[in-house]
Structure 1
Amino acid sequence: MLLDFNAEIYSWIRGGLFVLFLYHFLIFFQNKNKLYLYYSLYLLALTIYLLQHVISVEFKPFFNYANFSIQFLAYAAYVAFARDLLDTRSHLIKWDKYFEIEIKVLVLLAPIFILIQFFLGYDFQVKAFTAIVPALTIFTLISYYIILTRINDNFSLYFVVGSLIYVVLANVSFLEVFVGSDFFINNGVQPMFFVYLGALLQSIIFSILLGLIIKRIEQKSKNAEVKLAVKLKEMEELKMTALQSQMNPHFLFNSLNSINNFVLKNDIEKASDYITKFSKLVRVILNSSSSPTSTLSEELDVLLLYVKLEQMRVNGGFDYIVNVDKNLDLEKIKVPTLFLQPFIENAIWHGIMKKENEKNKKIQLSIKKDQSNVVCVIRDNGIGINKAKEINQITQKRRFFGTEATENRIKILHQNKGVHIETKDISVGAETGTQVTISFPLA
């Protein structure tokens, strides 16, 4: 069986090498990675070289010219493949220059051997090849030693093991030059069988190696995606923190201004009560400032403290009513810190504060679940947003300082998906007011 090149084992090896050539060549066209191009060219040259044993007689002269040239080109592609696979340009900077020279020499030898055949004949090619092969083998073995000692990873080990298997078995076949083919044939095997066997084992090991490389590339890609996601999240948190840092001084300034008004009016008791509540609120805000988000439950607690302060400032006070959907778990819903405060502030100072009647001032906050969203509705019975514009001639910048910042923060938190904020005047006849609806994803 091992004496006939048409036997199944030889046919399977040749066919397998050709299939691997097509596979890696197609991969090269998909990702343009030269690693796969060099390996596919190596497999193609190896396949063509092995076909010499089964081709018809009329093609024999072709192999007299191309036999050794194909081997040199195969080895040149192999060295180029090794350079890319092991990244010798980075890991073996000095030795990589020798690899580059080796490739050029091998490519140059290919046409030279064709000329030798043309002028001097096949026997002279064999003698020249016999003289060159030992030098190539020695250089190759030295290269393997340098690769193993200077590149400490599993890839270099797989590569050297697979290569050594082929080199050793190919040199066993090369012994035919010295001991004759009869030595092998008498033992029931073709001399080239060891080249076939070495090519098979090497291709299996290299295929495993390339599979590991693809897996490593995919893992690096996943790691890069995770790192990018983390960096984007950090950037979004920084944006939210920056917006929050703009809002807090704005809110604190208004509160301090209220304390100043109480003092100017010589209302010491109210000023003292206000300072007590204000200090408690500031303490809560400072405690939450380390994080750009808080739970909706915490947000409502802080908002209640703020409203109590504002109720002291508004003449006649106002009612503050909160309705929360029982189906919502407020402890699990994350929101930007103080995200409702600017809307309540607008309802107070541009709504109910402008109302002539000091009684029946009211602000309602409703929080409910609507499918996969959380909907917060703030209603006041103030003069209405349209009337507020006419009276105060509020500029866009002043009016939307807090609300715009809040809208940006909640959009950042939910990656600008599913967040809607609508402000509308709900005045009808004698009944006036403004409604703000904030909708954002539950998850």
Structure 2
Amino acid sequence: MPSGRETAREVIGDVASSFTELPDEPVPSEVDGPLGWPGYGDQLARAAGSTGERESVVCGVAGIGGVTAVVVAFEFGFLGGSLGTRTGTRIEQAFTHARERRLPVVSLVATGGSRMQEGTLALLQLSGIARQLTLTREAGLPHVAVLRDPTTGGGWATLGAGADVVLGLRGAQVGFAGSRVRPPGYTVAQQFAAGSVDQLVRREELRDRLGRWLRLLTTPARAAAPPPVALGEALLPTTGWDAVVRARTLGRPRAKAYLASYFEWHEPVSGDRAGGVDPGVFCGFGHRDGETFAYAAQDGTATRPAGFRTAARLVRLADRLGVPVLTLVDTPGAANDEAAEKAGVGAAIADLFTAVASARVPVTTLLIGEGGSGGALAFAAPDRLWVTPDSYFAVISPELATAILKRDPAQARRTADELRLRPQDLVELGVARGVVQPGRPSDQATAM
């Protein structure tokens, strides 16, 4: 076994305070496998002798961070952690056990892909695993994957990339094509940059990080998220242009400050799972008063297609797990450059609108700055929108509205007033429920 690569039981010991292996139900097998591959039986015997395992996965029930979970851990020393028919059977049994007992699943993945010696029958295990992932999602149970070194082939394309939350151990090779197929191997850092991995984790951090995630994903709040208190101005703007200027002030509190104030601690998810990351959108799950809320927040920049898709992914995941959602709106609008159009910004906005509209969990929105057109509205709950004194919401910016109406640019201030975009205007028009104030509980928000 390569130096420095942990066994399945070692990595389980790293993250779990207790572990009980699931019984290994016997399955009929031929000496040299279903294809009669010459010498395959000897290979299996040598793998078992060197690792002490009967297959390339170890499955059981573990205590991680005070949460009971089903664990699927790959043993790379057993034929490269490859997926064979018996491997698929073990994984199916583990996920079935999780659903029967309403337990989350943690996959500790380290695999080179499907087992050549079992041919297409091994490849078909991927469809069976995908079915297990689907059934587990439908049951409303979370699945967290940890990408070890290496995670390639079908293991990456099912248990890895198909998990709800994907954690990658720094330095791991992660990709559909392994280093023997397309050298050099793709790294977990590259997958993170491409939006396919939520967090990069050091080995020594994994125990605590997994414990935090399992607590977040198994303790949904019982009611809608209360809107955060305002962190900026207390006085309402006198004119529409005043509201615009205050919302654009560089020193105004942004999303990071609101998230830090609202949650005791939180964990981010990253990426749209389609090749993109928007650094101006923060999504994840946070712990507040012993309960979990999900969040999707804009950070004052023009939101890119990846940002809308990441937020839609977050809302759908939260909805499936029964976790109420908080969104923070702060954007001059959706990015509209050529790159954004090529990346499908319209379709991405539509996807987020649909995710919010179809959510069964309550979605609460606080407008904390600029609310520019549909790029802002896509993040907003239509029936639970609150505003801060230093925010505004408009169909389009006053400057662009002025240009569209063929007015003199100097008329932008007048246009801002006519758009009725101030916080108090939004409440009077029935767009927002009320104005939240600094230091005042949200249930005392001012309803105009």
Q: State TM-score, norm by structure 1.
A: 0.22
Query: Which has the higher Rg, Structure 1 or Structure 2?
Result: 1
Greater fraction of residues in strand: 2
Q: State TM-score, norm by structure 2.
A: 0.21
Greater fraction of residues in helix: 1
The structure, 1 or 2, with the larger RCO (C-alpha pairs under 8 Å, 6+ apart) is 2
